[in-house]
Structure 1
Amino acid sequence: MARQQDRDSAQMRLTGLVIAVAMVLWLAVQWLGGHYGWAAKWAFLADLAAIGAFVWSLLVTWRIWRRRNDA
C-alpha cells in the first residue's frame, strides 16, 4: 500500500509540474507571438499543445483518484 501511495505521489508531482510548465510556456508563446508579430498558426499550435498537456494531466489525476477510491 505504501508503495502505491509513493507512486501516486510521484505521479501527482509530475502532473503538477506538467500543468505549471505548460501554462508558463503557453503564456510565453502568446506574449512572444504578439510581441514579434508571429503568424496565428503558431498561437494555435501553442494552444493545442497546452490543451494536450491539460487533458493528459486531467486523465492522470482522474486515474489516481479512481485508484485511491477503489482501495
Structure 2
Amino acid sequence: MSSLRSAHINISESEIRRLRQQLEIEITWLQRQMEELGGAQSELDLSLQQTYKEMIYSRRALLGRMPR
C-alpha cells in the first residue's frame, strides 16, 4: 500500500523539508493562539480553542505521514 502511495508522490527532498518546516511553523503559531485564549469562558472562545486543537492535530498527523 505505501509503495502505491509513494508512486503518486514525486516531491524533492528540499520541498519536503520546506513543507515540514511550514507545518511546524503553523503548529507553533496555533499553539500560541490557544495559549492566548487561556481559560476561555465564552462559547466563541471555546469553539475557537477546539478549532485550533483540531488544526494542530491534523498538521501533526500530516507531519507523521511525511517522509523524513
- Gapped regions of structure 1 (runs ≥ 5): 1-5, 66-71
Structure-2 separation of matches of 1:52 and 1:36: 22
Aligned to 1:13: 18
Structure-2 separation of matches of 1:25 and 1:45: 10
Aligned to 2:50: 44
- Gapped regions of structure 2 (runs ≥ 5): 1-10
Aligned to 1:27: 32
The structure carrying a bigger helix percent of its residues is 1
Note the C-alpha offset of 1:36: 7.1
> Pairwise CA RMSD of aligned residues?
2.4
- Identity of paired residues, percent? 9
Q: Give the structure-2-normalised TM-score.
A: 0.60
Structure-2 separation of matches of 1:42 and 1:8: 34
Q: Secondary structure at the match of 1:53?
A: helix
Moved over 4 A (4+): 35-38
Q: Give the structure-1-normalised TM-score.
A: 0.59
Aligned to 1:54: 60
**Matched positions, count:** 56
